[in-house]
Amino acid sequence: MSETVTEGPSGLQIHPMDQFVVKPLFGGEHINFYTPTNVTLWMALAVLCVIALLVLGTRGRAIVPSRVQSVAELLYGFVYKMVEDVAGKDGLKFFPYIMTLFVFILFANFLGLIPMSFATTSHVAVTAVMAMAVFIVVTIVGIVKNGFGFLELFWIKAAPLALRPMLALIEVISYFVRPVSHSIRLAGNMMAGHAVIKVFAGFAGVLGLGAVAPILAITAVYALEMLVSFIQAYVFAILTCVYLKDALHPSH
Amino acid sequence: MSSETTVVDTHAAGAAGSGSEAVGMPQIDFTSFPNQIFWLVITLVIIYFVLSRISLPRIGAVLAERQGIITNDIAAAEDLKQQAVEAEDAYNKALADARVEAGHIVADARAEIQGELDSAMAKADAEIAAKSAESEAAIADIRKDAMKSVKAVANATAKEIVASMGSKADAKSVTAAVATRLKG
C-alpha cells in the first residue's frame, strides 16, 4: 500500500487514482486494443470464477446439492426470479444475457476488492459498453415487438392532453440518458469506494504504527464496499430488467 | 500489479506522467478504451456461451428434476396416507363385524345351553315325579300293611288281656271293640 504515498517536494502525496491505470502485463508502453493488460488478467480471473462456480460447482448435478452447487442454484434462482418478476414471463428468454451481465459484474466487483487488484468495473469504458449494449438491444426489441406502438412509452395516456407533449419531451430525454446513468452509477460507485480506501491507506502509510483511525476507517469502508459490490451488480441487472419490461410492454 | 516498481522508476527518472502514474482520471484516458472494450467483449461472449450452453441448462434441469421428485414424493405420501386411512377403515369394519359375530355366537350358545338345561330339567322333574309317585305308593302299601298288623296285634293283645283277666272273651265282640277303638 505504501507505493501510493511518495514523498515529493510538497510532503504528503497520495495517488488514489494510480490503481485504475491500465498497464500492459508484459511491459511496453503502447497499448493496442489486443495488448494483454491488467484488464485482460482480471477479466480472465472473473471468467475463471464464473466457470468455477457455475460449471465446476454444478458438475455433480446432485439432487441434494453440495455447498458450491447450492450457491450456484441460489444465484440462478435469484436472477431468474428477478427477471420473471420485473420483466415478466416473456422476458425470460433474455435471462441468459442478464445472468451474464450480473455474474460478470458481481465477480469483477468482488475481485476488485482484493488488495493490489484491478477493478475492471470501475472503468466507464467497461460499464458504458455494457449499458450501451443493453440500451441498443432493449430499443431494438421494443421496436421489433411493438413497432410504432413502442412510441407509447413516451406518450403518457394517463396525463392530461395538454401536458403530454411536454412529458413526451422529458420521457425522451430520460430514455436517452438511461445508458449514461446506467453506466456511470456502477463505475462511479466502484471508483469512489476504491479511491477512498486508497486515500485512507495513504494516511495510514504516513502515520505508520499509530494509524489506528485510518485502519479502522479502511475496515469500515471495505465492509461497505463489499455491500456496494453486490448491490451495484444487482442494481445493474434489475435496471436492465426494468428497461426490458418497458420494451416488451411499452404502455404505462 | 507491478505499479510499485514503475512508480519508483518514473520518479527516479524524473519523468512524471508516463506509464503507471495516473494523470487525472485513468477512466477518461481514451487511449486505453479500445483495449478495455476488446477484452470486455471477449469476456462477456465467453461467459455468455459458458452460461447459456453449459451452466444454465444444467442448473435449470437440476432444479426441475428436484421439483419433480418433490412433487412425486408428496403425491406418493398422499397415496400412502390414503391407503393407511383405508386400512384403518377396513380394520375398524372387521372389528365391528367380529364383535357382531361374537354377539351372535354368544346368543346362540346361550340359547342352546338354555334349551339343554330346560330339557334336562324337564327330564329331571319327570323322574322326580315318577320316583315320588312310586315312593308314595310304597308308603301307602307299607301304611296299609302296618294298619293290618296293628289290627291283628291289637286283637290278639286284647284277647290275651281279656283271657288273662280270667274271663272268656267273645272273639267277635273283642274284635268289634278294637275296631271301634282304632277308628276313634
Residues 93-122 of B with CB under 8 A from A: none
Measured from the Cβ of residue A61, the count of other Cβ atoms closer than 10 Å reads 12
Name the minimum distance, in Å, from the CA of A169 to any CA of chain B: 30
Q: From the list B33, B38, B50, which residue is nearest A34 (CB)?
A: B38
Rounded to whole angstroms, the maximal C-alpha distance in chain B is: 202
Nearest Cα residue in chain A from B39: A40
Q: Which residue has the cell 442454484?
A: A73
Q: What is the DSSP letter of A117?
A: -
Matching residue, cell 265282640: B173
Cell of B3: 505499479
Out of B43, B54, B59, the one facing A76 most closely (by C-beta) is B59
**Residue in chain B lying closest to A195 (CA):** B25
Q: Quote the mean pLDDT of chain B.
A: 85
A interface test, pick of B10, B18, B33 with most A CB neighbours within 10 Å: B33
Average pLDDT over residues B131-159: 89
Which residues of chain A are within 8 Å of residue B11 when distances are taken between CB atoms? 6
- Residue B20: pLDDT band (50, 70, 90) is low
Given a contact cutoff of 8 angstroms between Cβ atoms, the answer to whether A121 and A188 are in contact is: no
> Nine-digit cell at B156?
290278639
Model confidence over B164-179: pLDDT tens digits? 887 776 778 878 887 8
The three-state secondary structure class of A44 is helix
Question: Is the Cβ pair A122, B59 closer than 8 Å?
Answer: no
User: CB–CB of B39 and A43 under 8 A?
Assistant: yes
Question: Cα–Cα distance between A1 and A16 in angstroms, integer?
Answer: 11
Q: Which residues of B touch A72 (CB under 8 A)?
A: 55, 59
B51 contact A CB<8A:
yes
Task: Look up cell 484491478; give the residue.
Answer: A118
Contact B58 A97 (CB under 8 A): no
pLDDT in tens, B62-77: 999 999 999 999 999 9
Predicted pLDDT of residue B169? 65
The identity of residue A251, as a single letter, is S
Q: Which domain holds residue A152?
A: 2-248
The reply to whether residue B3 touches residue A124, judged by beta carbons under 8 angstroms, is no
Binary contact (B47, A50; C-beta < 8 A)? yes
Quick one: DSSP state of residue B167? S
Interface contact A22-B32, CB threshold 8 A = yes
For residue B60, list chain A residues with Cβ-Cβ distance below 8 A. 76
pLDDT given at position A72 = 94
What number of other Cβ atoms are within 10 A of residue A120's Cβ? 32
Residue type, position B153, single letter: V
**Total number of domains constituting chain A:** 1
The single residue listed with the C-alpha cell 495510514 is A204
* 3 state DSSP class of A63: coil
Most B CBs within 10 Å: which of A1, A10, A14, A18, as the mutation test of the B interface? A18
Does A122 contact B at CB distance below 8 Å? yes
Instruction: Give me the mean pLDDT over the B145-167 stretch.
Output: 83
Which tens digits make up the pLDDT trace of A144-180?
998 888 888 888 888 888 888 999 999 999 999 999 9
Enumerate the H helices of A147-211 as residue ranges: 164-207
Residue B16: pLDDT band with limits 50, 70, 90: very low
Min distance B95 CA to chain A CA atoms (Å): 44
Distance between CA atoms of B74 and A158, rounded to whole angstroms?
48
User: Which residues make beta-bridge pairs with A8?
Assistant: A11
Q: Quick check: A177 contacting B, CB < 8 Å?
A: no
CA distance B75 to chain A (A): 18
Encode pLDDT of A193-247 as tens digits. 999 999 988 888 888 777 788 889 999 999 999 999 999 999 999 999 999 999 9
Of the candidate ranges A59-63, A163-167, A178-182, B1-5, the one whose mean pLDDT is the lowest: B1-5
A53 CA to chain B: closest CA distance, Å? 9
